[in-house]
Structure 1
Amino acid sequence: MFDFLNKKDRTPPALPQGTERRRYIITGQVQGVGFRYRARYAAQTLGLTGWVQNEDDGSVTLEVQGDPDKFLTLFAMIQKSDYIQITGIRQKDIPPDPWERGFSVKGY
């Protein structure tokens, strides 16, 4: 009946050469100051994908994917605010997600 669904290509799209994905845990004055929306704007401007989310402990988790040479520029763009003060960043490399599109703000 729904045979056309079985024939759908489920091969993930190819990612550009050198694509990396990293998860950052950012501490400091990063909640209630527009961090997540600045991160989304900066990521979209730089052509990066991923997501950002506030955590219960006052930190922010930022997962970003794309050209790793743009990651430092991302943080520079985010921190161009008088209100945001990053005091710590922990990083973890994780496998890229070929299905991800865009950059989203998660959480409350």
Structure 2
Amino acid sequence: MGEVERLMTVNRVAMIVSVHPETIRRAIRARKLGAYRAPGGLRISETDLKAYLDTYHCPASEMTSRTWSYVEANGPSSGGKKGSVSDFRQALRTKNALARR
């Protein structure tokens, strides 16, 4: 005889995945995570949870490290020229002159 698959509640799955239970419910509504209706609420099988995690779950800890920086990942910014000290002083003088008015 076949083995009965273990079913878990939304709250249990949320605790395992470390997300809010509403996040699990949204995934079910979006049909990203399979679930069964049962008396007392929705139930999720272990195989459906594993499939969801393999397909959609992307924890941030795997994408970043303690030494991660935007510049190292994407290269230097191309947003305009570097300001020089004289540009900064000119902007400061203009700001002070406008404040005196």
Higher relative contact order (CA 8 A, sep 6+): 1
The two structures have a TM-score, normalised by structure 1, of: 0.27
Which has the larger helix fraction? 2
The two structures have a TM-score, normalised by structure 2, of: 0.28
Which has the larger strand fraction? 1
> Which of 1 and 2 has greater Rg?
2
